[in-house]
Chains A and B, each alone.
Chain A
């Protein structure tokens, strides 16, 4: 049973470009969470999605960031017009309906040059 998958594992973007991060939840999981880990810091919640719905986006920056979890395919975290401060590790987690536990993917490490 494959775990949570994220790609790419490493992403380099120049300032002003767009970054697209993908997350495929564990089989049978319909809840997806995105977290960001800045250097030397803990993980901060960004957004929680279910299929075709954003449930909680209280941790998302107001501009340039968006997320989706379509009916088919992976969840996407999109960052437009990236800046150096967006450099971080972005982790996706998934959970099953009715479960408290979240299982994490390996993360995407975004570097903005």
Chain B
């Protein structure tokens, strides 16, 4: 069965600083990888996804993520964080179409001004 690990429970960065959120997955074949963002009391919004091809994928709100098969990682990055990026970020994996998502436990991002 697939699994996802987000080793950082809570991260604090200053506005304007760069950001990297870590995600490691466990799955025997090529996974389908996603990053979602959840603001307090809200649902989940899809930031970006990786299925195949170019290992560096661009998403909304200036986010990008890089798939590294050798490290089983799919880390999320942003060059310059804005205060509005404060939220909880979830990495997720599924095994293909019509299959459940398996989520990591999330990383809560706090942005200081």
Given known A-B contacts A95-B98, A98-B97, A100-B97, A107 and B104 have beta carbons under 8 A apart: no
Q: Does B27 contact A (CB under 8 A)?
A: no
Q: What is the 8 Å Cβ interface bit string for chain B, positions 74-111, against chain A (1 contact, 0 not)?
A: 00000000000000001000101111111111100000
Where chain B touches its partner, the secondary structure class is loop
Residues of A contacting B100 in the complex (Cβ-Cβ under 8 angstroms): 33, 45, 48, 56, 58-59
> In which size bucket is the chain A interface?
20 to 34
Given known A-B contacts A100-B96, A104-B36, A41 and B43 have beta carbons under 8 A apart: no
**In the complex, how many angstroms separate the beta carbon of B110 from the nearest chain A beta carbon?**
15
Residues of B contacting A35 in the complex (Cβ-Cβ under 8 angstroms): 101, 103
- The reply to whether A33 and B101 form a contact with Cβ atoms under 8 Å apart is yes
Q: Which of A42-62 contact B (CB under 8 A)?
A: 42-45, 48, 55-56, 58-59
Interface residues of A (CB under 8 A from B): 4, 31, 33, 35, 41-45, 48, 55-56, 58-59, 91, 93, 95, 97-107, 109
Q: A43-B103, A59-B100 are in contact. List 19 more A-B contacts (CB 8 A).
A: A4-B43, A35-B101, A35-B103, A41-B105, A42-B90, A42-B103, A43-B44, A43-B90, A45-B101, A93-B101, A97-B97, A97-B98, A100-B32, A100-B49, A100-B96, A101-B46, A103-B46, A104-B36, A105-B43
